[in-house]
Amino acid sequence: PPDVTGPSCPAECLVLQLPALPLLVGDTVTLRCRVWQDGTLTGVRFYHGERYLGEVLNGTELSLSPLQLDHSGRYRCGGLVNFGPLLWWEMSAPVTMTVAETVHGECGNGDG
């Protein structure tokens, strides 16, 4: 059978990046799909679990806003990776995003 995922790609050739900040209900988050080294990426698609979220024709980012608790879960991205003459479809490893309720009393609550 043909090689569906393409030639031997370095581990994590395609990576889905999420901000490391705590994500709260009502926030906006940008999912960013990045390709390794000098490759280019087109036709990027985003998935929440097995659910298709959409395709970005000109770019590699998808914004979710306003965040809700049900946005928590595993996300992946996929796209056409191009390294010179080689072109193939690649999927990222899943990344878990957790959305929390708004923190109550976050103003003026010092540690001491």
**57 within domain boundaries:** yes
Q: What's residue 57's pLDDT? A: 85
CATH number for the domain that contains residue 52: 2.60.40.10
Q: What's residue 2's pLDDT? A: 37
Residues present in the chain in total: 112
Dist CA 64 CA 46 (whole Å): 11
Per-residue pLDDT tens listing for the chain (112 residues): 334 444 555 567 899 999 988 899 999 999 999 998 888 999 999 999 999 999 998 899 999 999 999 999 999 999 999 988 889 999 999 999 999 997 655 555 454 4
**63 within domain boundaries:** yes
Q: Is the Cβ–Cβ distance between 91 and 45 less than 8 Å?
A: no
**Domain span at residue 69?**
14-100
Instruction: Count the domains in the chain.
Output: 1
Say if pTM beats, i.e. exceeds, 0.85.
Answer: no
Place of tokens 């080294």: 37
Phi, psi for 18 (deg, rounded to 5):
-125, 155
Return the closest-CA partner of residue 101 out of 13, 23, 42: 23
**71 within domain boundaries:** yes
